Structure 1
């Protein structure tokens, strides 16, 4: 389980996350939604220990990420697919991560096969397309066979086949009883993937409920319409550049 408790992050320029609380339960795909600038990526970074909260806490399995002895075996994350040394080969990148968490070479071979990267294992990261880099990031997230998966915009750069693969992967992992949090701007994809939604705007919680209840509660014919109605007052920038 992921537990976010009164999480706040302030910068000199303002507040990115404002007293935010929610839980991500195992056994379902939870969609994490919000307009640009809503605080989704900042929240994910605090869950993963990459940013320090101003107040509140973010826990995975009851612990802060920094307290996990072998973090890849507890939580796998796709936060920024480009965070790979451009000269490092695909297999070597995964081997380095595996060794750092006490994992064997067999897990590297397994995730290369699962993500369709076996044929690109000897290629340098700089030669990969955006879609292939996304697959490499997902391979790294799966490396420790974790019980918690956090995927931030996982379908960026993927072709339609890749999008369907991610959708099915997220559902399969949730079906195995894992905790799956997926952040995305693609409402049509979230409607097909997520059974539960957490929606934020301007760093604050706007909704936390099942997807079908969210749509019906906001009088939307579909998820996109319901989302737009709920978040219309939380958009930082509008057409014409007005704030």
Structure 2
């Protein structure tokens, strides 16, 4: 399977330095969590990996190649970044069919992923009538459509009920067990503690830690306590009263 490799990534928006010399590797066969305070550069990093933004310096490669050089990208990389992006008037199944045709994916795969995410019963409903949780499931179906070896998820449990959260936890673990590269950005440390094998922690666009969850909690501390200790100098606003 293929890793994600970021080397010396740097990205500025005007006066804001969003990513500052970021280097890390996301290895196959495990769930890697991506965490950091608001504004740390997580979304920018994912956008650079997916070719949505160009870095000012450095490289972001998937299996040794830039995303924009992939001829059928959905067969190589699946991503959930914005579950609210499809046309609200388009039916769920038609949205996935359009994506499948553009990437040479057989149409039967559309029905497979709809069933996998639990949307087969509402496949002909229009996206505009979907709840947040249903939109999230459709976004996950889009990511899985090409059966890719590399998957990126930004806040995948957003909008899901407890059963949905348990389902996505099992899905992520199962994908990693198949040898895929699974990269998950989340603010829910408690959820990552039960899902992720490894964490990449950033603050103000810089790498703060690249270690296993076991290593971060080896001293008997909780994952939250370890995270707060790492990021205490990277928060731009004061903590409120306890």
> Fold conserved (TM > 0.5)?
yes
The one of 85, 106, 109 equivalent to 2:108 is 106
**Aligned twin of 1:81:** 83
Q: Quick check: 1:220–1:226 contact (8 Å CA) kept in 2?
A: no
TM-score (norm 2): 0.96
Listed one character per residue, the Cα deviations across residues 166-201 of structure 1 (whole Å, up to 9, x for unaligned) are 110000000000000001000000000000110000
Three-state SS of the structure 1 residue aligned to 2:23 is strand
Mark the runs of 5 or more structure 1 residues left unpaired by the alignment: none
Q: How many residues align?
A: 238
Question: Runs (4+) of structure 1 moved beyond 6 Å?
Answer: none
After TM superposition, the structure 1 = structure 2 runs for residues 57-68 of structure 1, keeping only pairs within 5 Å, are 57-68=59-70
After TM superposition, the structure 1 = structure 2 runs for residues 44-59 of structure 1, keeping only pairs within 5 Å, are 44-59=46-61
- CA distance, structure 2, for counterparts of residue 66 and residue 221 of structure 1: 41
**Aligned twin of 1:193:** 195
Q: Cα offset for 1:104?
A: 1.2
Three-state SS of the structure 1 residue aligned to 2:88 is coil
TM-score (norm 1): 0.96
Q: Cα offset for 1:136?
A: 0.3
Q: Quick check: 1:35–1:231 contact (8 Å CA) kept in 2?
A: yes
Mark the runs of 5 or more structure 2 residues left unpaired by the alignment: none
Kindly indicate whether residue 122 of structure 2 is the aligned counterpart of residue 94 of structure 1: no
Listed one character per residue, the Cα deviations across residues 67-115 of structure 1 (whole Å, up to 9, x for unaligned) are 0010000000001111111111100000000000001111100000000
Q: Cα offset for 1:220?
A: 5.9
Three-state SS of the structure 2 residue aligned to 1:198 is strand
After TM superposition, the structure 1 = structure 2 runs for residues 82-231 of structure 1, keeping only pairs within 5 Å, are 82-216=84-218, 219=219, 221-231=221-231
- CA distance, structure 1, for counterparts of residue 233 and residue 239 of structure 2: 14
- CA distance, structure 2, for counterparts of residue 60 and residue 208 of structure 1: 18
